[in-house]
Chain A
Amino acid sequence: MNQWTLSRRVVMKALLMGSAAPWVMRSSAFASSCDDHIVRLGGTIFPDTMNPFATWSSFWPQVFTYDCLVGPDARRHEDRKGFAKLWSVADDKLTWTFKIWPDMKWSDGQPATARDAAFTYKYLRDSIGKPDELNVGWNNTDGLQNVESITALDDETLQIVTKVPTLWPIDNQTMIVPEHIWKDISNADARSTFRNDPPLVGTGPMIVSEFQQDQFASLTANKYFRGGQPKTSGMILHFFKSADLIAQGLKSGDLDYGFYLTAAQWADLSKDPGIVVNESRIEQRDYLAFNTLSGKGAGSTKALQDPAFRVAIGYAIDQKAIVERALRGHGDPGVGLVMPLATDYYSDLSDIRRHFDLAEAGRRLDAAGYRDTNGDGVREDREGKSFQLELIAGPSANIEIPIAAVQLVAGWFEQIGIPVSVTQLDAGALRARWAAPENGGGGWDLLIDNGWLGTRPRDLLILGSSKAIGTNNGSFWTNEKFDKLLSEVEVTVDLKKSQQLVDQAVRLIYAEAPYIMLCYPTLLEARRKDCFEGWGTQDLMSMWSYFPLDRLRPQNG
């Protein structure tokens, strides 16, 4: 009898545990996206603060909350406007007038007017030259040096007068912030310690309501959004250190959209009938840079300073093979400074373009005096020293350059008699090596790196700017004529004139070859079909604004 009682207890316990198990296994604080209409996104991104004046790392998720005055998306797409509804420039090409959306409100219900836009720009401009200049974050002083005045003529009209003709007023990517939140924040705090903790106050469709560093940001739909409250309930942006979990999250249904996928993950996801994959052209350029320094920080051989040497190397790089083998087809072969996405300025340089030809590379090296005189298979420089170049590479905040691309390049160098030793560095060490020589940079020979800027002429040409040594100009190459063209294009508003100047600069630097463009990778992304519709057809998600989160809607919702 006792035995039976014991067994009954055991059975009861087992039943209770068994019935609780599914609840424990399935229980979650939230239901799936199809139930709660919250869009779940995932990316390999690392936001560190919600203060746009203090960091470059938090574009995601701030872009969903703050508007640019105009910005790249509004320039490229008729239906993707920012803080301003309309804009125009006077005949003097200096006076810009912006009409702000009438009756627009911040997410806390306060009126969002031209005065807020004027405040944001003045807040930045007034810091110029001060010890706490706001030049360290996404919202920065760059370009404001050319601004004469910023005036809110009334609640709906903003006027910006520039000192020189420039497209900066419509090209800048400054996020417009509310004056009533930021007016009491000092420059010193804004550039460092002020964290701008959620809930943020913005004019975008989704407002950051919770930010957990290294985990996620939760956003709620902005009920005051000028286009009407978004149809989705909100969004959650998950941050990942590796894209593996993004791919798994898409498959399991935990994520609705993922970006920064690898080619292998993308190919795998493309077989899933419930998932749509896409690749978008972006502004990233992957390049090989030569250390052209001649004094402090110079490389191991003077040949690096010789355009003839660099041009000859240009024939030994097969950009098509890099795209096909290292990127598995997801990109465009590198040519000049301008990537195909910048359609206004792109040229394939067909008349001067170098084509992969190892024999031609060898002939040119011979002609330039870099021969293998002792027959050991290794060429010597003009000083008679055998080549042994150091190629440095490392991780990137953008789309990673596959190690296969580095190996391919090193292999081609070997084939033309120039041995290369590859040094993979961590981000900190890499940054230290290509810092300006006065800051201890240099001392390497070749660098494989990338950059992701915009499509403004200045962004396109900055790799060759002498002012950008230590920041964007990794080759340390300088050229007075190039700098002059860059200065000129920065004060040119006319598109045709601008195109001519960019083309001249691009050809000049191509002929000197301080950089060999390897490729322009595409961004690989994927989304699930089951919960939301309205993703658009071109890029699934804009890399410059909140599209399509402002118009996404639940399936059959």
Chain B
Amino acid sequence: MASTGIGAPKSQHVGRIFLRAAVTLLMVASLNFILFRIIPGDPAALLLGGARTSVTAEQMEAQRQNWGLDRPLFPDQVVDYLSASLHGDFGYSFKFRGRHVSDLILERLPATVALVGLAQFIAILCGVMLGLYAGWRRGGAVDHIVTGASLALYSTPSFWLGMLLVVIFSTALGWLPGYGAYSPGAISGSLDWLIDYLRHLALPVTAVTLGLIGQYVVVARAAMSDVVTEDYMVTARAKGLNRGQMLMRHAFRNAMLPVVTLITLNLGYVVAGAITVEAVFAWPGIGGLTVEALNARDYPVLQGIFLLLGASIVVANLVTDLAYGILDPRVRQ
């Protein structure tokens, strides 16, 4: 009986989380369709009207028909879009001359995941450690330095930071390349290519990392600062635990709750790319693709990207909810 009593709320809790995620995803997909069509701008006019020739109204209309934009938005277009999306078919790009949206996204995704994923990893590792340490040693010299530097980095625009890195490490010192993902002619997969890729990755990753690290430090420090003043910490000390034991057994786990939330939510944004940093370093990621698709009103590409982004954030939220259940059993009840 007891096991049923505990199991039911747990499975209900997980079920609720999954149901909520599914509903959210459906709403994101629907919103994706409406959102980009509200923005003024006709993709046919943008693609053909960019030409210097006189494209006739009939030819413009033929292009719209070709893309299926002449059909009623509801139910034809929206039903087609939702049913295709459910099958993982995002359609064909307007701007990129009929290329499949999935191919375009998959082409850019590795560069974005490498850039933002690596930056998140480094920022989490360094930021959380520094933040927890600063919170543990609240009021000390390390706390002041770490907090001050973090706030400064947090408030610095990443494009400015990026240009600064280029000027110092690429132009002045000549240590690292300042733009692109790899050198032309590099044979993909070779050791030379890998080193070349990592060298190109170094500055953009640093720019994104420095921009992210501040928020991890701030949140982790605040969480740890709260924990160290809790009664159970005083009790732990009274029980005769040394500082290391107090930190590892009591403070760390409790301080991680808000940090885990931030980490998982931020991981959801890994696929979104870093638009400004990608632009500064001419990094061929999802961010740049989003801007190009937006300028061309390339609905299929925009829908594909934002659905992917929405899905990754929903999954991140789902992981957060599940992780909360593990970290704090009260949540499951």
- Identify the A interface with B (CB < 8 A): 24-30, 46, 48-49, 51, 54-57, 131, 133, 135-137, 140-142, 192-193, 195, 210, 212-216, 218, 236, 238-242, 244-245, 248-249, 251-254, 397, 426-429, 431-433, 435-436, 438-440, 453, 467-468, 470-472
Contact = CB atoms under 8 A, between A and B. Distances in A.
Contacts of B9: none
A435 B97 CA distance: 22
Nearest to A469: B54
B185 A218 contact: yes
A213 B284 contact: yes
B63 to A, nearest CB: 8
A471 B292 CA distance: 21
Given A241-B279, A254-B178, A426-B294, A54 B97 contact: yes
Given A133-B59, A216-B180, A472 B52 contact: yes
A39 to B, nearest CB: 12
13 contacts: A25-B199, A27-B192, A29-B186, A49-B96, A135-B48, A140-B51, A216-B180, A218-B184, A240-B179, A253-B174, A428-B46, A431-B49, A435-B45
A428 B46 CA distance: 7
A28 B187 CA distance: 12
A238 B179 contact: yes
B185 A453 contact: no
Interface size on B, as a range, is: 35 or more
Contacts of B99: 193, 195
A131 B62 contact: yes
A136 B288 contact: no
B142 interface: no
B193 interface: yes
Given A210-B184, A214-B289, 4 more contacts: A29-B196, A49-B96, A135-B51, A428-B294
A30 B50 contact: no
A300 B289 CA distance: 37
Nearest to B58: A131
Interface of A is mostly: loop
Closest 8 A/B residue pairs (Cβ): A428-B41, A29-B186, A193-B98, A29-B183, A142-B53, A432-B40, A218-B184, A432-B41
Contacts of A51: 97
A69 B57 CA distance: 31
B171 to A, nearest CB: 4
B246 interface: no
A214 B296 CA distance: 15
Contact of B282 (A25, A238, A467): A238
Nearest to A132: B62
Nearest to A252: B171
Nearest to B284: A214
Contacts of B176: 25
A439 B166 CA distance: 45
B221 interface: no
B47 interface: yes
A218 B182 CA distance: 13
Contacts of A137: 51
Contacts of A252: 170-171, 174, 178
Given A429-B40, A431-B49, A471-B52, A29 B182 contact: yes
Nearest to B193: A29
A140 B167 CA distance: 43
A30 B200 CA distance: 13
Nearest to B278: A241
A249 B176 CA distance: 12
Contact of B284 (A193, A212, A218, A254): A212
Contacts of A435: 42, 45, 49
Nearest to A239: B282
A222 B60 CA distance: 39
B41 A471 contact: no
A142 to B, nearest CB: 4
Contact of B195 (A27, A218, A397, A427): A27
A436 B55 CA distance: 11
A95 to B, nearest CB: 25
B195 A24 contact: yes
A357 to B, nearest CB: 35
A141 B56 CA distance: 13
Interface string B91-105: 000011111000000
A555 to B, nearest CB: 20
Contacts of A193: 97-99
A545 B48 CA distance: 24
Given A214-B288, A435-B45, A56 B177 contact: no
Contacts of B170: 248, 252, 254
A427 B46 contact: yes
Nearest to B192: A29
B97 A140 contact: no
A435 to B, nearest CB: 5
